Chains A and B, each alone.
Chain A
Amino acid sequence: MLAYLLRRVLYALPIMLGVALVCFALVHIAPGDPLISILPPDASADLQAQLRELYGFNRSLPEQFVRWIWRAGHGDMGVSIASNRPVATEVFTAVGNTLRLAVVATFIGFVLGCLFGFVAGYFRNSWVDRLASMLSVLGVSVPHYWLGMVMVIVFSSQLGWLPATGAGPGGSDNWAWDWAHVQYLLLPAITMSVIPMGIVSRTVRALVADILEQEFIVGLRAKGLTHLGVFAHTVKNAAPTALAVMGLQLGYLLGGSILIETVFSWPGTGLLLNSAIFQRDLPLLQGTILVLALFFVVLNLLVDVLQTLLDPRIARA
C-alpha cells in the first residue's frame, strides 16, 4: 500500500508541471505581445526594452518557463497590473473566500445528495426513486448562474429575507461566522450546492443499488440482520466512493465558482478572475488559474490517498 501511495504522489508531480506549463502558455497564446498589455499605450521604446529585460521576455521560452516556475515556487507570481499589488496576496485572500463558499456548498450538496441517493437506491424504482432521479437531473441541468439570479429575485427582491450581493460588513478581508456575515453566504452557497447534490445523489444511488445486489447483503439478510444493520453495511461500503466524489466536487466548485461569484459579487477567486480578464491583467489571470489548478491536483491526490486508506482493495487493483 505504501508503494501505491508513493507511486500516486510521484505521479502527481509531472501533472503539476504540465499544469504549470499550460498556465505559462496562457500568457503566450494571448493575442499580441504580452508586454503590450502591461505597458501604457504611450510607453517609450526605451521603457519597453527595460521592461522586456525585467520580465525576461527577451529570453528563450524554455528559459522564461524555468525562471517563471522558480519564482512561482517561491511564492512570487508577479505583480497585478491593475492594482500593483503582488498577485500572491490577491489570490490568497480570494482563495480563502472561495474556499469558505465552496466548502459550505459541498457540505450542503453532499448531505442532501447522500440522503436522496440512499433513499432512491434503497427503494429502487419506487416513486421516491423517480423523484430523486428527477431532482438529480434538474441539479446537473440547471445553469447555476441563472439559478443564482432566480434566488436573488425570490429571496432578496421579492421576499427580502436575505441580502443579494457582497460578503457582508467585513468586506473581502474580514470574515466572521456570525449572522451578519453568514446571511450573505447562504444564497450563493445554496445555489452552488445544487451541482454536487445532483452528482452525489446519482453516484450514491448507483452505488447503493449495486451493493444491495451483492451476495454478502443477501447473506446478511439470510442471517436475520435487521434493516438497520443492512443499512449500516451499505453505508460502510458506499462511503469511500461517495467521499471521493465529494472531494472532486469541492475541487470543481473551487475552480468553477466564477459564474456564481459574478452573480452574487462574492469576493473570491471567481470575481478576481473576472476582473483580471476584463482588465487584461494577465499576471493576475495566470496566477489565479495556477493556484486553482494546483489546488485541484492536490485535492485529487488527497482524495485518492484517503480513499485508499479507507478501502485498501483499491491499492491492490
Chain B
Amino acid sequence: MTRPRRLHRLMLACYPRAWRERYGDELLAVLADRRSGWRDLPNLLAGALDARVHLRLRPVADGMLLAGPSLPDFPPPARMSAGPSADEPRYGVVASTPPVGEMSRRGFLRRMLGVGTAILSLEFAFGTVNFLWPQIREGLGAKFRVGTIADVLLAEPRFAQGWPYAYNPARTFLVNVPAAKELAVGNDVSLPDPAASDLLALWRKCPHLGCLVPAPCESITRYQCRCHQSTYNILGEKMFKGPAERGLDRFTVLIEDNGMIVIDTSQLTQGAPNRGREFLDFDDSHAWDATCGVE
C-alpha cells in the first residue's frame, strides 16, 4: 500500500469523522489511482460540505456505519425511493430531539453563528495587527536602494577618486573608503569598483546637535558642520575642532547580487568617541579652512 499523499489526506480531513471511517480508505484509494491533484480540490470540498450538511452518518452496534435519518425539513423524495410505500408516513422516525450524533437545525445554525463570529474576529485581529505593523518605506528606518556603482558614478563622477556621494533621500554620504583615504592625503587615484566592505554610509546628522553636515568643499576633504564647526575627516571620524563628542554615525550598507547598493537606515552604528589624534584611522593633517562652508 502506498503512503497517501499529504494533499489527499488534507482533503479527506475536511470530511466528518464518521464519514471518513466509512469511506476514507476507499476515497484515498480512488485519489491514488487517479493521481489526483489540486484539480479535485473544489469537488472534494463540495463533497465534504455536502457530507457535513446532508449526510449525517453515525456508528451502529456492529461496527458498520449506517446513515442516520434525514432532517425533518427536507422535501419529500422524488422517484428513486426505496423507502416504504407512498401511503406510509415518511417522517415518522424523526422526533423533535435528534438522535445521538445527529445535528439539529438549531444546533447547526448555532455552530454556524459561532464559526461566523470566529471568522469575523480573526479578520478584525488580522486587520488590526496589519495596521499597527510598522511599514517604513521612507525616512529613517527604511531600506534605501541607491542604485549600482555605475549609477553613483553617473551622479558623482569623482566617487572613484574618493569624493563622497551625497545621497539625499537617506541623508547620507556614501564613501568609497580606499579611494577616500588616498584623496584625503592628496593622492589622485581611481578605484571605480569598490566592494560592499569598502563602502561607508555616514549619516549627515551632526552628533552634536543634529545639524545637516554639508558636503566637503573643494579645498579640504573634511566635513565641517556649519552650526558649531564640528569637524570630521572624510571617513566621518571626529577631528579636534568642534564640540561633537563622537564621529558621524553610520548605516549598514550592502550590495545585492544584481549590484544594487542598499542603505539600511534601520541599522545604525554610532560613530567612535573622541580618543585623540593617534587613534584616528588616518590623519589628513589639513589646516582649518575658514572660507569653507561660508556662503
Whether chains A and B associate is no
- Interface of A with B (CB < 8 Å)? none
- Interface of B with A (CB < 8 Å)? none
